[in-house]
Structure 1
Amino acid sequence: MRIALNANRIIRVFDSEDLIMVTVDVAKNNTCKVVIAGGREFSVHCSVSKLVERLEPQMGGRFFRITRDTCINIDYVHELSTDGELRLFDRSVNKLLPKLLILSRARILSLVDLLTKE
């Protein structure tokens, strides 16, 4: 499972075993577009920071803040280890960042449910 964040502020969650992908793309009008594998697509009208605030309690762990400062000139690669810890790796400085996120298939599905409810 891999989560990638780039300067365009796109969150991707991909589980190759179950072919589940969640993409959150921030549009110019402050709408977060959520797409999961199979073509299901949802729009959530909130900022990225609000989206993260809504997701954090559901994640079972801390989620790093998605801000302009953390996105620009930083290349994050996130690997889910066998023990279920999400390791954030900053390739620009070649070290692990001290933040963890617990993520499972059930949580991914619950996030989709959360995003589709107001």
Structure 2
Amino acid sequence: MHNPLTIRYYKYDLIICIILSLVYWVYLTGVFVYVIHLRNLGEVRIGDIAFIMSLTFLVTENSWHSTMELKDFLEDVAAFRSSFKIMQTPQDIIDKENARSFHNPLVRIAYFY
């Protein structure tokens, strides 16, 4: 949890969720106010308002879920890239220069094929 990449990811996740929430609330409030305005002008009826608002909520919910799925997909892509970045690190030889080989006469290794 204390991985800097994870913390940065969750920070961007929070920012995306806050921005989307604000955009959707402004959108829903604007549609609701506009529908009430049309109702006061006599252009739409109660059934039209119910249809418009239910369709608006359906579209908003689907777009929210698709945005969250896109965010999860980008998280998987980032994890995939991170796993390949680990494999690209150069492997250093960690043996000592004057290392002696380990030989114990009491240990016998048997290979079975």
* TM interval, short-chain normalised: under 0.3
Give the helix-richer structure, 1 or 2. Answer: 2
Normalising by structure 1, report the TM-score.
Answer: 0.22
Flag the structure with larger Rg. Answer: 2
